[in-house]
Amino acid sequence: MRILLACDKLSSFENIYFDFKRAGFPDAADICVLSVADVFVPPGYTKTDLKRSSDQAYLSFIDKEIESAHQLADRMGGQLRSRFPHWRLHTYSVGGSPAEEIIKKAQDWMADLIVVGSHGRPGVGEFFFGSVALKVLAGSACSVRVVRKGPLEEASPSRIIVGVDGSAQNEYMINQIGTRHWKEGSSVHLITAVNMMVDPAIFSDSFNTGPFLSVLITPENQNARKEWQSSKDHKQMDWIKRMHSDYQSRLERSGLYVSSLIQEGDPKVLLLKEAQRWGADCIYMAAVGHSQIERLLIGSVSVASVIRAQCSVEVLRKRR
């Protein structure tokens, strides 16, 4: 597993460390610690430009900021290396737009997962952080995990919420969760929000309008749903229950305790409400796809979770 950890001056190592311990990451992993100096770097800039530039003050400022980012990456990397000695760890620093550089590094390095750290309580106070995280979520070609402060302990088992929406990426999400290395006694709560408020007249050309979380119709998503649907179904809810039952059995075979909830409501509200009630460490959900339209659709749920959730959030996407 290749994990890109993006950190800045406000990142808390303790929050990241305890989140990593509860995320089921394998003992053997490649970790790249990335620190981005939020400065405009002129194209082709090198340190030799500092001597001949007429704007030496600004270029000197850039140089100092990048050096500070380099020291931060090294410090965070050293702390992680001491706690996870079996991980292969690299550090990297660069100047530029944080979101753009995170996405670029993840693509160049072929990361499976991008991890970004939160600075405090969810909501308006995290506007700047949120703008970076959401840009990364929308623009990345791999999974994204947003870390929030959780229990500062590693002894207790993990408790995770998994949002199931019937899209093709659900298979990848369930497989990834099932193959992670969870502490004995860890629990999964599968949730599907059944949306009865979708108006077929509005979405008839683009959306599946059954009593279910609306998912954009693509050949991939249509085929995914056909695998669960049967001509013998008496109710439209039958295939959703069948899907939950299959996912529950598979995750239980991985040693996890699994519960299931299928309930009418807005997924943005239900996921957050259940996560808080259940004391979840993280909310997991699948990205719908890679196109801009598909990202906008999943965005309404994932954006609400990233901004408002009290716990960490991971949006899983199979790397292109």
pLDDT in the model for residue 46: 62
Which domains are present in the chain? Answer: 1-152 (3.40.50.620), 157-320 (3.40.50.620)
pLDDT of residue 206: 38
Q: 105-111: list long-range contacts, CB under 8 Å, 24+ apart.
A: 105/4, 105/32, 105/34, 106/4, 106/140, 106/141, 106/142, 107/141, 109/2, 109/4, 109/32, 110/2, 110/319, 111/2, 111/3, 111/4, 111/32, 111/142, 111/319
Using the structure block, give the residue that is written with the tokens 């954006």: 303
pLDDT of 225 reads 61
pLDDT at 170: 87
Question: Nearest CA to 316 among 74, 91, 150, 146?
Answer: 146
What is the DSSP pairing of strand 88-95 with strand 257-264?
unpaired
Which pLDDT does position 39 carry in this prediction? 84
What pLDDT score was predicted for residue 13? 84
Q: In this structure, are residues 223 and 168 in contact, taking their beta carbons and an 8 Å threshold?
A: yes
Q: pTM of the full predicted structure?
A: 0.83
> pLDDT digits over 156-165, tens only?
899 999 998 8
Q: Which residues, in sequence order, are bridge partners of residue 189?
A: 161, 259
- Predicted local confidence at residue 158, as pLDDT: 93
pLDDT given for residue 63 in this prediction = 83
User: What tens digit of pLDDT does each residue of 89-109 get?
Assistant: 999 999 888 999 999 999 999
Which segments in the chain show pLDDT lower than 70? Answer: 42, 44-55, 118-130, 150-154, 195-236, 288-306
At 103 the pLDDT is 95
